Structure 1
């Protein structure tokens, strides 16, 4: 079980202090998407440490491609001069609460003499996080999960042979370069950002202050799209229920309609979570008036005998030749070539919020220390 305040949940706590007590005693929930992510993280760890993954693990061809792409992307960090740590557990108790986290990959890179600059470079700490989701693009800028991993690692390796002679900065860490990596292969999203360990993102006082606010039993709940997205308490959150309209009649005032539109994604997410909640209750044997559950219709798929049967009857006609998808092609040959052979047709009109400030979420959050 994840700790109630953890690197992965910190952004939610930052956006809604009251979410800590709201979720603290609730069990973890899972999904087929989370299960796939867990599986692919396990495969990455096994390949990185053993050179192969367990024989009893069965991957689809798409999953195999994703794993190969991710490995190739980071292959340059496998040299003898790098210290690599996989599924590295960081201890963040120095922030005043029992907090731990597991970083997918940590790399320590030594300094070297730059003859052009006539000086030694700073040693480098790489923090790498795999995201195997297909829906929401994850950004590396102002990524508090990665920042917390970096802080725990900087504490742990304070006197490492690569770091021990670096000066100590105002954040209390060795003055090194920190490179944060987000690797989200399904969305062809690989982002990095280079920072100094003296950057505001690694300021201990900021995190301690947020944690103290979360530990206040009267901490306010502030529903918003990002904070509520993965919150386990949203079904019974009174603050969120105040936003959900009791009806959607079209004869509401423009002000009332605008409130509904402004919170469209929040409302949709709430309804999806409500549906999942009721489905789980029925699966566990409860009755819910007016609703039952049934198996979804699924598409037919070829079984293990299909290849042999079809090729024996149809020979070459058993196969179709068609171009691979754009996302897959971009992973293989890069954006530069793809941009020359793709086009975007003009789309239909869609309704958008003309106040762009409403769309700026955590990436524009101003840290106050």
Structure 2
């Protein structure tokens, strides 16, 4: 598993916006999850496809060396979309000078943390600050940084994305030694959300970000070594709290959630929920803006409580129990098949047949336009559900006169 730097690009949104977060979470245990393992496997699969010019589905059912997660159809499809998109961009360029996959980028010198440390009269030596860019592409005078986000929980924008801008800054200083770079672009790929986002900056704009990066990293490092000096060193927000290991115990976050909901968490009752129906739309809008933050806090509290109980620490009123068992599965399908055959079961008792999906059929018939056209006559696809988004979203708004299902009834 790849080690992580203290001042890391992946955590930039956190320590940029809440400088005390590094100090506050330094004693919290690292928490891995199946989602993180899936992401690591997906990245390893993409690296394999790029380096060996292979299709992702050629590894179906295989396990990569990084962990014990199988490559399934969903992963193969998502990774292939990402690989094809990047390769498509690459093939559209006339002069490709660099195409580096899983490129480790050191940006320690850009932060110059040692200067900040020396002012504190301490012998502490700062760790290296580095990160790994999924793909670095340099062509036609443009430096591109591509990032695969395999998860499908949160849509991520490339616009002013601090993680990718740090990668781009480190990559610029490395590759500009031998190549002229006139523009820089960062790209986020979320194939499981059917989402792609890109953002372009000039070298001058990137340098300006570099100044801000150095300042923010210095502040975060200072607090990490000496502790917070005031409450303003903590700053709760959806982006910085979402993946903070200490969010479940953070009073700043809890207070902000309480303020957003006007809730007294010591004395919640049904009347609190009923109050929402009486709010004016302007008040509703203010609360709706905080939903992401509130969800982050709820997840953080749930995670913290489970962690405490798993470590044998009492949480008054709650306990850990064994949950519902998972679905039954064969230890080995081959062994199961042989055993069932020994029972002289009939074919229709042993096996089930399932018609392939429209997506699979279109893939099988790829290149046969006439047959695809005939097939599409018998394919249906449900319309997307109404979704609340910020006004800055590029999709057109639904007219109140449009006929659509009441949002509150969708999942009933």
Q: Report the TM-score when normalising by structure 1.
A: 0.72
SS in 1 for 2:138: strand
Q: 1:315 deviation in Å?
A: 11
Q: Is the 8 A contact 1:101 1:149 kept in 2?
A: yes
Question: Which residue number corresponds to residue 189 of structure 1?
Answer: 195
Out of 37, 45, 60, which is 1:35 matched to?
Answer: 37
Q: 1:56 deviation in Å?
A: 4.3
Q: 1:313 deviation in Å?
A: 2.0
CA distance in structure 1 between the partners assigned to 2:186 and 2:346 by the alignment: 48
Q: Is the 8 A contact 1:311 1:318 kept in 2?
A: no
Q: 1:128 deviation in Å?
A: 0.8
Q: 1:236 deviation in Å?
A: 1.6
Is 1:312 the equivalent of 2:359?
no
Taking the TM superposition and a 5 Å limit, the aligned residue runs for 1:344-355 are 344=383
Q: Is the 8 A contact 2:18 2:240 kept in 1?
A: yes
Structure with greater proportional helix content:
2
Question: Which residue number corresponds to residue 107 of structure 2?
Answer: 92
CA distance in structure 2 between the partners assigned to 1:229 and 1:273 by the alignment: 8
SS in 2 for 1:178: strand
Is 1:248 the equivalent of 2:268?
yes
SS in 2 for 1:242: helix
SS in 2 for 1:182: strand
- Specify whether residues 250 and 177 from structure 1 end up closer, same or farther in structure 2 by C-alpha distance, changes over 3 A only: same
- Specify whether residues 237 and 72 from structure 1 end up closer, same or farther in structure 2 by C-alpha distance, changes over 3 A only: same
Q: Indicate the larger mover: 206-215 or 244-253.
A: 244-253
Taking the TM superposition and a 5 Å limit, the aligned residue runs for 1:51-130 are 51=53, 56-57=63-64, 58-76=70-88, 77=90, 81-93=96-108, 94-97=110-113, 98-109=128-139, 111=140, 123-130=141-148
- Specify whether residues 283 and 108 from structure 1 end up closer, same or farther in structure 2 by C-alpha distance, changes over 3 A only: same
- Specify whether residues 199 and 67 from structure 1 end up closer, same or farther in structure 2 by C-alpha distance, changes over 3 A only: same
- Specify whether residues 211 and 295 from structure 1 end up closer, same or farther in structure 2 by C-alpha distance, changes over 3 A only: same
Out of 204, 223, 227, which is 2:240 matched to?
Answer: 227
- Structure 1, unpaired ranges of 5+: 112-122, 164-174, 360-369
Q: Which has the larger radius of gyration?
A: 2
Report the aligned-residue RMSD: 3.9
Q: 1:144 deviation in Å?
A: 1.2
SS in 2 for 1:84: strand
CA distance in structure 2 between the partners assigned to 1:317 and 1:251 by the alignment: 52
CA distance in structure 2 between the partners assigned to 1:346 and 1:8 by the alignment: 32
- Structure 2, unpaired ranges of 5+: 65-69, 114-127, 259-263, 368-372, 394-412
Question: Which residue number corresponds to residue 22 of structure 2?
Answer: 20
Question: Which residue number corresponds to residue 296 of structure 2?
Answer: 269
Q: Is the 8 A contact 2:189 2:197 kept in 1?
A: yes
CA distance in structure 2 between the partners assigned to 1:107 and 1:230 by the alignment: 29
CA distance in structure 2 between the partners assigned to 1:346 and 1:3 by the alignment: 41
Out of 168, 175, 178, which is 1:157 matched to?
Answer: 175
Q: Report the TM-score when normalising by structure 2.
A: 0.65
CA distance in structure 2 between the partners assigned to 1:81 and 1:291 by the alignment: 58
CA distance in structure 2 between the partners assigned to 1:63 and 1:238 by the alignment: 38
- Specify whether residues 45 and 103 from structure 1 end up closer, same or farther in structure 2 by C-alpha distance, changes over 3 A only: same
SS in 1 for 2:30: coil
CA distance in structure 2 between the partners assigned to 1:296 and 1:20 by the alignment: 36
Q: Indicate the larger mover: 188-197 or 45-54.
A: 45-54
Q: 1:127 deviation in Å?
A: 0.5
> What number of residue pairs does the alignment pair up?
321
Is 1:279 the equivalent of 2:306?
yes
